[in-house]
Structure formats: C-alpha cells, structure tokens
Amino acid sequence: MRRIALLSLAFALAACQKATPPSAPSPAPLKETYDASASADARRIEADVRFLADDLLEGREAGTRGYDLASLYVAQRFRAMGLAPAGDDGSYFQTVPMLRGVRQADGNALVILRDGHERALRFRDEFLPGINVNEAQASVEAPAVFVGQGVHAPELQHDDFAGVDVKGKIAVLFNGAPAKFDNDRRAFYSSRATKAGELIRRGAVGMIEVQSDDEQARSPWQRRADNWQTPGMRLRGADGKGIDSWPQLRVYAMASAASADALLSAGGHTASQLFQDLRDGKLRAFDLPGTLRLASHTAITPVDSRNVVARIDGADPKLNSEHVVFSAHLDHVGVGAAVNGDAIYNGALDNALGIAVMLEAANRLAHEKEPTKRSLLFVAVTAEEKGLLGAEWFARNPTVPAESLVANVNMDMPMLLAPTSDVVPIGLEHSTLQPLVQQASKEIGVSLSKDPAPEEVVFVRSDQYAFIRAGVPAVYLDGGYTGVGGDAKAVQDAFLKERYHQPGDDLSQPIQWPDAARLAKLNARIGRLIADAPQRPQWNPGDFFGEKFGKPAAPAKAP
C-alpha cells in the first residue's frame, strides 16, 4: 500500500517514508500464541501471515532473497490447494524484469546560475535527484521556467503552462493538482507520470519538484533526506532500458521548501507568495532568469523479480475463456533505517495480510462444489512498493489473453486491528461491479461503509490502478472502521501514524483473524458473482477512468 497525503503523492515513487520514530516504544519480543478455538480459515490466514511477516523474510523487498522465499511459499500454497500454474512456461512464476537505481553520494548537483552568481543547493539537505535508471551520470544545464503544478487539464479549463514555452528548458513545479478538481481528476493530474508525460510532450529537458511549506509541515524533508539511499525501480524493456522512465527529462530532482526562495524568488516573485498562490489556486507560470545546472549519479543494476500466478478453470464452455483476476502485492519495503533497534520492515498488514486473505479466498473457491462459469486468476504481484511495477507488468503482459481479463478484485493492507462489522469498498462508483459487491456483502452479513478519506483516492494507490489503466474495471475492499466494542478508527489512525511503512508493522499487531476470514469469504463471494454474471463488468457511462482508459468491451464469444 502506498498511502500518503494527496499533495505528496508525487514523492511516493522515489522514497518510502520509513524513518520517523514512532511515538510508542518498540514492541516486546514476539510471543508465539496458539488459539485452539480459532476457526480453520482464520487459522490458515494467521499461519500465512506468521510466515510471510517473519523477520527471516527480511521485509520482502522486490529483488531480494526474502521476497523470492515469499514467492516460493505462495506458489506452493497454490499447489497444495490444487490451483493450476498460470505463469510463464507452465510454472507458477512470471518473471518481472526491472532496473534498480540507488543514488550515489557524489556527482549530484542543483546549481542556480543567476545574475553572475552561483548558488549550489546542498545534496540531501536541500535537494535530492530522482532515481535515474537511464544514465548513471546525467547532467543538463538549461534555462528554467516555473509552471505552477504542471497541470494541463483542458476539460477543466485549467492550464498551468499558459503564456510560457518549456521547450529545451527545465520545468520547476509544485506537487499535486488544484483543490478545485474532483478527487479522481486530482489524483490523475497529481501523479508524476502524468506530469512527466506533459513536460516531455512540450519538450522539457529536466524537472524540479519544489516542496511547498504545507507539504513540509505534513511530511518533513528530513524523512526523505534520511532515506536517500532507498533503491528505486522501473520495469525493464526488451532493449534493456527503463519503461516509463522518461529519458527525455535528463535529470529530475526534488527540492526542499527551505530552498524554494533560492530557486523561485526572481522577477518580483517570492517563495512565500507562491506558496500562498498555491493555496489560493492562483499560480501563474513565469520564466526564471539565468540557468540551472542539474546532475545525478546513480548505481543502476538489472534485477529480476517475479509475480506468482495460479488459475481455477471455469466450467462454462463459452465464458471460461474469460478471467476474474484477484490480486494482492507480496512485496514490502525490506530492511531500512533502524527504529528503536529494529531495521526489518516486516509488512504484516502491508501486505502479508492481503496475500493471506487472497490465499484463503482461493482456498474457498477451489473447494466449492460448483465451479464458477468464468475462470479465476490469482496473482501475487511484486514491486508494488516501487510503483505498482509487478501489477503493471502483468497488466501489460498478461499470461492469458489481455481481452479475457474482465475484472480485478484487489486486496491491500486491510487494517483489521480492532473488531469491526463493516468494510470500505473502494471504486464501486465507477462500474457495474457495484450491485455485485452490494449483493455479496448482504449475503455475508457485512455492512459497506463510505470511504473515510475520499481525497486520498486510494483507487489509484494500489495494484488495481494497473488494471484500471489497462481498461479493466476494479474494486478493492479496505478494512472497515465501525468498531464492535471499541474505536476501530482511532486504532487505525494510530497505526497509520506510528507503524505504517515502519518496522512496527509486524506480528505484534493485534490482527483480527476472524475479521480477516470474513473478508476472505466476502472477496471470494464477490469474485464468484462476477464470474457467474451473464455480462462482464462495464465502466459506468461517462466515468472518468472508463473514458480515459476503457475500451469497448468485447462480448463473450458466441457459440
């Protein structure tokens, strides 16, 4: 899961925020417990989480031995349940080729050359280059232009590029997208990928994201600086080069709010006024005087990881060539800066629990008397924490025909830390999956609650977004917050603040195994209803994501 405040979305690709000391002391050493009264399904989920989130798996970072062990385990669980391999060449695995980039301590620069003076920002303290998998030592010097938040949204009559030309220049911009946009569009236009695409289309040669004062207050620069060595990854194409790695932007960099004045105060502008204009939605583009020199130094190595893919065949001779895809990410962020002496970021909730719930849903469906009409695919994906890379690879290169993917049911970091009676369905409003999810929740006896933070647009924050971008309608169920005898929301908020993406997301968490078993039951039921429906799911007419990415659905083949 990559849950972050909306305006700092753009930083997610470069840095897992994992160095804030939690306010609670480190948990006591883990005591193994055994609940003889637990139901069989809850016990299976607990067993999977206890294995996957153990210290021996070392945080399951993509490209490490810990991750490879986790993927081996999931493959053998599929085998034990009787699911057929559906990866490459008759195996359970799909290789995901990637490039790993790690910043180097020397050879980085962000120099402002203006009015005959030179001001070099300090590496780490004031700026960090983005992870560059295209060139180990890259540099560019060019005139610069400030382009607001770098958003061009003609359908909303919004153009941050009005009156300036960025061709051959370095674009300097703020993160995020205007608050006046609806949540879906705000998320889409906030993403670094959308912005980089727009800059490349306009001929920019570099990009600098300047942190605002509001961002600094929410997410201090120091956290990024502390994690400057965290590796970044991109998918690797057949030519050995990075996919979606924007080589046209020779260098991109992030600059701290404290250095904004040095960069932006020119021609009557000041950083503090621009921060205010950002809050007021009144930013205007302007050319910056002089030139900027940018350089980055990155150690680049090819690395392979793997998705784990298994299939349950559908029974309907017409519909079984179509697939409902269940997904959950198996990777986490690995080993990092120690917090209270603990450097292993176990990822018990994020996302050992999501994987365990998916495995239990698979187990249920594998043992139902009647097979489903459509086929079911289960994909444990890698490198979600590096930017949804495993899911993106699968959605672009599925091991079954792409047009056969009818829907995605994703599971990511269900925050089941106190007993609840509900779940939060994410993405229901976009497609015809809505009535099916409603029916399943009714049958299982779980209420559906509203998304408590719609402005976070978690619909674009996990693996389902890779499927959405491939035109496949998707849904995922977040843990609920209607507490049974306690304030579940307060417990979740404390988790997000103190343990999410921290060593504290480990087996000492009070995970509610019976609620996890209920979630598996619900996901299995949703998958079954989709698989048995006469029509494959459709995007709702006029839906933003449907119009942006959807294709007219091909009908199931006639007999």
**Residue 137: both structure tokens together:** 């030592």
Amino acid in position 50: R
Cβ closest to Zn ion, residue 226 vs residue 350: 350
What number of CA atoms fall less than 13 Å from residue 291's CA on the CB side?
10
Q: What minimum distance in Å lies between the beta carbon of 99 and Zn ion?
A: 21
Q: What minimum distance in Å lies between the beta carbon of 5 and Zn ion?
A: 15
Which string of b and e fits 437-449 if b means at least 16 CB within 10 Å? beebbeebebebb
Q: Does 505 bind Zn ion (CB under 5 A)?
A: no
Q: What minimum distance in Å lies between the beta carbon of 385 and Zn ion?
A: 5
Q: Does 331 bind Zn ion (CB under 5 A)?
A: no
Cβ closest to Zn ion, residue 11 vs residue 539: 11
Q: What minimum distance in Å lies between the beta carbon of 413 and Zn ion?
A: 6
Stretch that binds Zn ion, among 63-71, 102-110, 348-356, 490-498 (CB under 5 A): 348-356
- The number of beta carbons lying within 10 Å of the beta carbon of residue 197 is 13
Stretch that binds Zn ion, among 191-199, 342-350, 491-499, 513-521 (CB under 5 A): 342-350
Cβ closest to Zn ion, residue 350 vs residue 456: 350
Compute CA distances 391 → 33, 234, 312, whole Å.
35, 12, 19
Stretch that binds Zn ion, among 149-157, 255-263, 350-358, 470-478 (CB under 5 A): 350-358
Residues numbered 87-106 forming contacts with Zn ion, rule: CB under 5 A: none
Q: Does 383 bind Zn ion (CB under 5 A)?
A: no
Q: Does 1 bind Zn ion (CB under 5 A)?
A: yes
Alpha carbon distance 389, 61 (integer Å): 13
Residue 155, C-beta contacts closer than 8 angstroms, at least 6 positions apart: none
Alpha carbon distance 421, 330 (integer Å): 26
Strand-pair partners of 407: 324
Stretch that binds Zn ion, among 187-195, 243-251, 346-354, 505-513 (CB under 5 A): 346-354
Select from 221, 470, 474 the least CA-distant residue to 325. 474
Cβ closest to Zn ion, residue 215 vs residue 350: 350
Stretch that binds Zn ion, among 66-74, 123-131, 157-165, 345-353 (CB under 5 A): 345-353
Q: What minimum distance in Å lies between the beta carbon of 49 and Zn ion?
A: 15
Q: Does 506 bind Zn ion (CB under 5 A)?
A: no
- The C-alpha angle with vertex 529 and arms to 526 and 531, in degrees rounded to 5, equals 105
| Strand residue runs (E) in 175-285 | 206-210, 232-235, 251-255
Q: What minimum distance in Å lies between the beta carbon of 462 and Zn ion?
A: 9
Q: Does 532 bind Zn ion (CB under 5 A)?
A: no
Compute CA distances 185 → 190, 450, 501, 540, whole Å.
8, 19, 27, 16
| Strand residue runs (E) in 151-260 | 152-153, 158-159, 170-174, 206-210, 232-235, 251-255
Q: Does 61 bind Zn ion (CB under 5 A)?
A: no
Alpha carbon distance 77, 462 (integer Å): 24
Cβ closest to Zn ion, residue 405 vs residue 474: 474
Cβ closest to Zn ion, residue 161 vs residue 459: 459
Q: Does 184 bind Zn ion (CB under 5 A)?
A: no
Stretch that binds Zn ion, among 249-257, 347-355, 485-493, 519-527 (CB under 5 A): 347-355
Residues in the chain: 559
- The C-alpha angle with vertex 194 and arms to 12 and 413, in degrees rounded to 5, equals 35
Cβ closest to Zn ion, residue 127 vs residue 495: 495
Q: What minimum distance in Å lies between the beta carbon of 412 and Zn ion?
A: 8
**Residue 504: both structure tokens together:** 């504290």
Q: What minimum distance in Å lies between the beta carbon of 493 and Zn ion?
A: 17
Q: What minimum distance in Å lies between the beta carbon of 384 and Zn ion?
A: 7
| Positive/negative CA dihedral, 52, 54, 60, 64 | negative
Q: What minimum distance in Å lies between the beta carbon of 348 and Zn ion?
A: 11
Share in percent of the chain as helix, strand, coil (round to 5):
35, 25, 40
Task: Kindly determine how many residues on this chain lie close enough to bind Zn ion according to the rule CB under 5 A.
Answer: 2
Stretch that binds Zn ion, among 18-26, 215-223, 343-351, 447-455 (CB under 5 A): 343-351
Rule CB under 5 A: choose which of 58, 350, 360, 532 binds Zn ion. 350
Compute CA distances 532 → 325, 373, 375, 378, 387, whole Å.
14, 5, 10, 17, 32
Stretch that binds Zn ion, among 1-9, 40-48, 302-310, 476-484 (CB under 5 A): 1-9
Q: Does 68 bind Zn ion (CB under 5 A)?
A: no
- The number of beta carbons lying within 10 Å of the beta carbon of residue 113 is 16
Q: Does 411 bind Zn ion (CB under 5 A)?
A: no
Residue found by looking up tokens 């980055």 in the block: 296
Q: Does 352 bind Zn ion (CB under 5 A)?
A: no
Cβ closest to Zn ion, residue 1 vs residue 507: 1
Amino acid in position 327: S
Footprint of Zn ion (CB under 5 A) = 1, 350
